[in-house]
Structure 1
């Protein structure tokens, strides 16, 4: 039997303009993902690609407890997380990316993007994103038609990355691979597990308290793994994996094949 593979939506390989990416959540994982996206965009541009145009959605502000586990400085305490991260990123990389100091939901509207990346804390937020993205599909061939949703989630020292397609992506004929045109949403495949594990923890009052809930390097490790999957999708044009499960306590990572 031929191995399975998913080929990237063709308009994302050599676009005329930067690809719109919507990053939802600018906390422990989101702040790390933003830096990885900036590095990826810069590297893609060096290879002749148009790169990314990123918008970061988050309605939270930086607190003292965020410093250390998240990428914020002392002078940024009290500022909007999205604005602080985007301002720093734009200055460093020379980008013109945007901060949206709002929650990403059906009430505030949503950005039109080709790639959505969620780094949120609750199952309720994921289900709300899923509902928005189900209505975001389109038949146009323009570059920023919604194509992919990558979701990051984690506990204290475990986590997962799940890549999904938004609708069906037509696949080329392949002699070597059995192509897969649709990848399920995390809410469709793991909905019951998400509901069981959901919690409404209050914000931490200190870094020490925050580290009891999430270990220091779980977010950054997940961010690197997930963005590596996205990087390989752009560099190779296809992927045989659609995510990974990570257990940082005993240094185990398990791919999630197609």
Structure 2
């Protein structure tokens, strides 16, 4: 008779009988966070948050940004916060989103703005219509850091945010005045991506000043699929509410709050503690797993599918023709 398959069997040594158990070898660890650069922005007097979307992620994120705005104002900064969303609160938004039954029928953006302005003593404006890049340009200010906060669930809205970022970056220098942080989720997984560059050319010399990072690829550069429509089967064509998706076991009750907290923490590290060292975080609530991409040249190059990192370290390495070919590839 052949011996049994012992491939997955851990043999316990003799000394384990005395209470000491020998463990299998530890897996290789990712220690890239030890080499991560700190993301910097100029020390702006005015910080402007433009949040697009006030649904599942956005309703919780508005709370986190309001708290952060209150603390930033205590440091002497001027903070402006606007929430943009055309939709009204529906029965299906309760309880997964940060709304109550008494708010059904009210505009989402206006409801959150009024609630958190009173709670934290900060001024919050609301726009009860779809976001368009022109809204950002009409209120453009000098010496102001603008954070585009994407809390939307469709490619059309993300394309509008991407156009707004491109429009702003065309008039800015190497150090960006506009950043985009994007939140997205599926059933039990989600991601938070942050960046400022819309082309590889804008990333030249991002790591030139060691140990700092001046620019990062935008969420659209990191994940181009965010801007593309996803094919749905006929049974998914019908628009389902968040509550219906949750009851069908297709939306975790806590996923939106978890993603909003990750985004809030990244913004806090960037603006308050000035110690942000990651640009992408991925969460799986079912498995209890969270992984991040840290701000190293290798990780940034990998995120935009580039093998070379020299252009990130030195802005003079690659010629313009090479960047044109690179972007066209």
Same fold (TM over 0.5): yes
Q: Tell me the secondary structure at the aligned position of residue 33 of structure 1.
A: helix
Does residue 117 of structure 1 match 2:149? yes
**Contact persistence 2:282–2:290 (CA under 8 A):** yes
Q: Cα 1:211–1:49, aligned 2, differ >3 Å: closer, same or farther?
A: farther
Q: Tell me the secondary structure at the aligned position of residue 149 of structure 2.
A: strand
Aligned to 1:70: 97
Q: Distance in 1 between matches of 2:261 and 2:221?
A: 25
Cα deviations across residues 15-71 of structure 1 (Å, max 9, x unaligned)? 2x4x1110000001001111001111222334x242531100000110000011011
Does residue 243 of structure 1 match 2:319? no
Q: Which one of 201, 215, 219 corresponds to residue 186 of structure 1?
A: 219
Q: Cα 1:76–1:243, aligned 2, differ >3 Å: closer, same or farther?
A: same
What stretches of structure 1 of length at least 5 have no aligned partner? none
Does residue 151 of structure 1 match 2:177? no
**Contact persistence 1:204–1:210 (CA under 8 A):** no
Does residue 91 of structure 1 match 2:118? yes
**Contact persistence 1:157–1:214 (CA under 8 A):** yes
Cα deviations across residues 105-144 of structure 1 (Å, max 9, x unaligned)? 24x6335461110010112321221122101123389xxx
Q: Distance in 2 between matches of 1:211 and 1:128?
A: 31
Cα deviations across residues 148-186 of structure 1 (Å, max 9, x unaligned)? 1000011011000000115659879755x2x33321122
Q: Tell me the secondary structure at the aligned position of residue 116 of structure 1.
A: strand
Moved more, 239-248 or 189-198: 189-198
Q: Which one of 60, 81, 92 corresponds to residue 32 of structure 1?
A: 60
Give, in angstroms, the shift of residue 205 of structure 1: 4.8
Does residue 54 of structure 1 match 2:85? no
Runs of 4 or more above 6 Å deviation: 169-173
Q: Distance in 2 between matches of 1:229 and 1:251?
A: 19
Q: Distance in 2 between matches of 1:209 and 1:184?
A: 32
Which of 1 and 2 has higher RCO (CA within 8 Å, sep 6+)?
A: 1
Give, in angstroms, the shift of residue 219 of structure 1: 0.5
Give, in angstroms, the shift of residue 202 of structure 1: 4.5
Aligned to 1:11: 43
Which structure is larger by alpha-carbon Rg, 1 or 2? Answer: 2
Give, in angstroms, the shift of residue 188 of structure 1: 1.9
Cα deviations across residues 202-253 of structure 1 (Å, max 9, x unaligned)? 4435724444332111010011111111111223324221120011111100
Aligned length: 247
Q: Cα 1:242–1:21, aligned 2, differ >3 Å: closer, same or farther?
A: same
**Contact persistence 2:165–2:179 (CA under 8 A):** no
